[in-house]
Structures are given as structure tokens and as C-alpha cells.
């Protein structure tokens, strides 16, 4: 709307507490907030999300943080949305055939997970905290669980894959979500244990490819049912 009334309204909105200087900067400011919040969450989980610390690290005011994220729950969801988007780009084809074998697709997913978390330790740290605080990172506040984070969508897809493998008789019958948490624990342990610490086990460093093979072999023994020997007819 043009005219004095419209101009006054625009001035009031622009001068409101926490409002960014212009719309062109909004996406950049939000991205910086989420990136720094991800580092805080990786270091200390939900309790580590301090709006005051976050504002200081990003170089904005606390009202600016509240403009983008009204609550810590909303901020935590944004952190895991960003993680899920990074993961989704790599994981889109992990669970799809070919190969037809669920066990082979599980190996493909495990190799991808080790690569994803091993390349950026912060991703592994985020998931470690997220698994302990899953109720805070799977659904948007106030939606009754109807709006899942991108990360939660990945978890749901993983659950469906495990359920299908169980139904096909390739995986041991167990709670799918519990299986995923166990798999996550194994992968994250391998990715988060510093290389120097791993030298204490066996006296030498372990190559990335060897760590990947270790994870796959360990998970296969725990999840994949051994094939029954064929009887001679």
C-alpha cells in the first residue's frame, strides 16, 4: 500500500527489535545462526543452545535470534533440518534396489554413513546428542508430531528399510528403531574416536577403508541373518 500510512508501517517493521536490516540479508543471517547453533549443539546438546552465547558468536542481538527462532525447540529442529539436508543429498539411493539383497543395500548404507560422519566429526556429534534427545528433534513444536524434521524423515526411511529386511527374512527380527540406534552407535564410535586414540589399539593407525570394513562386518554379524545351508535333494 502506498501513502503515508504504508511508509509509517514499513518504518515500524524495520525498526522492530531483532529485525534484520533488509530482506536480502535474512537468509544469510538465518544460515549463520543455524551453523553456529549446530556447533553449540554438537558440543553440548540441547542444554548447550544458549541464545546469549549464540547471539555473541554470530554477532547479532538476542532479539534477532528470537526473530528467527522463537524457542529453543524451533532452533534445535532447524539444526537437525540442516543436518538432514546434508545427509539426504548423499543418502537418497542408499536403500533403493539394485542390488536386490537387503544385506547388500545395508552395506552400501553403512559405507555411506561412515564416509558422511567421518568426513565431518560435527555431524557425528550432532547425531550422538540427537539420539539421546530424539523427542526434541523429530517434530516441529506445536504440530502434534505432524511436521517431521528432514533428519527424522531419514530415520523413518531407515526404519522402513529395516522392517522390509526383517519381513524378507534377511535381518534378525528386532525393533527396527532399536536396530538403527545400535547401528548408529557403532558408526559414530568409529567416526568420533580420534586417530591418535585408535593407535593405542594395535599400536598403529587404522585406514579409513579398514574402519569402514570393520563397521560393515560388525553390523552384519548383529543384523543380518546367516543363510541357511541348502539341503541336498
Give residue for cell 547453533. 37
The tens digit of pLDDT for each residue in 70-116 reads: 999 899 989 988 988 888 877 878 888 898 899 999 999 999 988 88
Q: Is the pLDDT of residue 220 over 90?
A: yes
The span from the CA of 88 to the CA of 65, in Å, is 26
- Where in the chain are all domains bearing CATH 1.10.10? 18-70
- Where in the chain are all domains bearing CATH 1.10.357.10? 80-226
- 113 burial (CB, 10 Å; 0-12 / 13-18 / 19+) is buried
Phi, psi of 224 (to 5 degrees): -85, 130
- Position 22 scores a pLDDT of 54
Closest CA to 123 of 161, 91, 147: 91
Domain 18-70 top-level CATH class = mainly alpha
- 66 burial (CB, 10 Å; 0-12 / 13-18 / 19+) is middle
Closest CA to 161 of 86, 83, 77, 91: 91
The tens digit of pLDDT for each residue in 6-48 reads: 333 333 333 344 444 555 688 999 999 999 999 999 988 899 9
- Position 228 scores a pLDDT of 63
The tens digit of pLDDT for each residue in 138-188 reads: 554 444 444 567 777 888 889 999 999 999 999 999 999 889 888 888 887
Fold of 80-226: Tetracycline Repressor; domain 2 (1.10.357)
Amino acid at each position: 500500500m502506498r501513502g503515508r500510512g504504508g511508509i509509517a508501517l514499513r518504518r515500524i517493521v524495520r525498526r522492530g527489535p531483532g529485525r534484520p536490516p533488509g530482506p536480502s540479508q535474512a537468509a544469510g543471517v538465518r544460515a549463520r545462526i543455524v551453523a553456529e547453533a549446530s556447533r553449540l549443539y554438537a558440543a553440548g546438546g540441547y542444554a548447550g543452545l544458549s541464545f546469549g552465547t549464540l547471539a555473541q558468536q554470530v554477532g547479532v542481538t538476542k532479539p534477532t535470534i528470537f526473530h528467527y527462532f522463537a524457542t529453543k525447540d524451533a532452533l534445535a529442529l532447524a539444526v537437525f533440518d540442516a543436518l538432514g539436508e546434508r545427509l539426504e543429498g548423499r543418502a537418497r539411493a542408499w536403500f533403493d534396489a539394485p542390488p536386490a539383497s537387503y544385506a547388500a543395500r545395508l552395506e552400501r548404507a553403512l559405507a555411506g554413513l561412515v564416509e558422511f560422519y567421518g568426513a565431518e566429526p560435527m555431524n557425528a556429534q550432532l547425531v550422538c546428542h540427537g539420539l539421546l534427545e530424539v523427542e526434541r528433534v523429530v517434530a516441529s513444536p506445536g504440530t502434534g508430531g505432524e511436521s517431521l524434521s528432514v533428519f527424522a524423515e531419514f530415520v523413518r526411511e531407515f526404519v522402513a528399510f529395516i522392517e522390509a529386511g526383517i519381513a524378507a527374512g534377511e535381518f534378525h527380527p528386532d525393533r527396527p528403531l532399536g536396530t538403527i540406534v545400535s547401528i548408529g552407535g557403532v558408526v559414530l564410535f568409529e567416526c568420533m574416536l580420534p586417530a591418535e586414540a585408535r593407535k593405542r589399539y594395535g599400536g598403529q593407525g587404522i585406514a579409513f577403508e579398514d574402519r569402514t570394513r570393520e563397521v560393515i562386518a560388525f553390523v552384519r554379524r548383529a543384523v543380518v541373518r546367516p543363510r541357511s545351508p541348502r539341503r541336498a535333494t
